[in-house]
Structure 1
Amino acid sequence: MPGIDECLLEAMLVPGARGASIVDWISGLALGAVGESPGSDHEATAAETAELARMATEYTTFAPKEPTAYGSEGPDREGEAEDKVEGPPVEDLIVTTRTGYHVVRFVETTFDSSVFLHLWLDRDLGNLALARLRLQNLAERLVLG
């Protein structure tokens, strides 16, 4: 299971990758970054991307409150627990620009799930579907400690 540095290096193996970072979306701080940054400043990119992540997770337009598996009545059978959704309500975000793609994948953790992976891809060389799948895999395997 990869740590931060290994995860970022694996992310850079995605065809068309220009830069990658792991960001705490609550504070906006980069926990690690590799490659290029769209504005040549990894910290500014982390803060701006974190703002986008916060909007997507806090506004009900993007993350509506879902009813429980049993509706408002609760469990049908005695002793049956309700299903609870853990982690952020949004799986990933994709922002398309004229020259690239930004893929943000939220990472579920045992503590507060306030981390995401950000991958910046060249639009001509990148494969958006492949990048999304690879980030999903990395997010599932990432060990933060």
Structure 2
Amino acid sequence: MPGIDACLDEAMALPGARGASVVDWTSGLSLGTAGESPGGDAEATAAETAELARAAAEYATFAPEAAVTEAATSEGAATEGAAYEGAASEADKGLPVEDVIVSTRTGYHVLCFVETTFDSSVFIHLWLDGATGNLALARIRMRQLAQRLVLG
């Protein structure tokens, strides 16, 4: 199981990888970086991508399962609880959002959330070149990296 540095090395080995980082989306701090950063400032990139990750993970628009779970548990009504039981049990299995992909004119940004046994607020950010990167491959490999990443 790779640590942060090994994870970043594997991410940078992907075709078209320009930069990678592991970021805590609660604080906006980078836990590690490799390669380039858009705009040349790794800390600014970490803070900006953390805002995007936080929005995707917390807003019901992007994670409706989380809103359904909250409604079912907060209201506690038997009929609504029964109606949302399947959705709530699915949402309880992990983070409501797997990843976020932003495509720009020159590349892609892939933010892949890391699930851990504790309350995780970490994601891996990969910056891919649009001409040489393979978005499908990157998404698959990033999910694998996120599952194997050891934090500590």
Shared fold (TM-score, shorter chain, > 0.5): yes
Conserved in 2, the CA contact under 8 Å of 1:105 and 1:135?
Answer: yes
Aligned-partner Cα distance in 2 for 1:98–1:113: 31
Aligned-partner Cα distance in 2 for 1:130–1:102: 13
1:33 paired with 2:33, answer yes
Letter of the structure 2 residue corresponding to residue 143 of structure 1: V
Map 1:44-123 → 2, pairs under 5 A = 44-64=44-64, 65-66=67-68, 72-73=81-82, 83=89, 85-123=92-130
Letter of the structure 2 residue corresponding to residue 24 of structure 1: D
Higher helix share: 2
Residues 15-59 of structure 1: CA deviation (Å, up to 9, x unaligned): 000000000000000000000000101000000000001111111
Aligned-partner Cα distance in 2 for 1:86–1:43: 31
Letter of the structure 2 residue corresponding to residue 101 of structure 1: Y
Deviation at 1:112, TM superposition (A): 1.2
Q: If the length of structure 2 is used for normalisation, what is the TM-score?
A: 0.85
Alignment length, in residue pairs? 138
Q: If the length of structure 1 is used for normalisation, what is the TM-score?
A: 0.89
Aligned-partner Cα distance in 2 for 1:66–1:131: 30
Deviation at 1:86, TM superposition (A): 4.0
Where in structure 1 are there 5+ consecutive unaligned residues?
77-81
Residues 65-109 of structure 1: CA deviation (Å, up to 9, x unaligned): 2458xx6138x9xxxxx8362442110000000001000000001
Conserved in 2, the CA contact under 8 Å of 1:87 and 1:113?
Answer: no
Aligned-partner Cα distance in 2 for 1:4–1:73: 41
Letter of the structure 2 residue corresponding to residue 122 of structure 1: D
Aligned-partner Cα distance in 1 for 2:61–2:144: 27
* Identity over aligned pairs, percent: 69
Aligned-partner Cα distance in 2 for 1:131–1:40: 22
* Other structure's SS at 1:109 match: coil
Conserved in 2, the CA contact under 8 Å of 1:87 and 1:109?
Answer: no
Aligned-partner Cα distance in 1 for 2:99–2:63: 11
* Other structure's SS at 1:39 match: helix
1:136 paired with 2:143, answer yes
User: What is aligned with 1:11?
Assistant: 11
Deviation at 1:144, TM superposition (A): 0.4
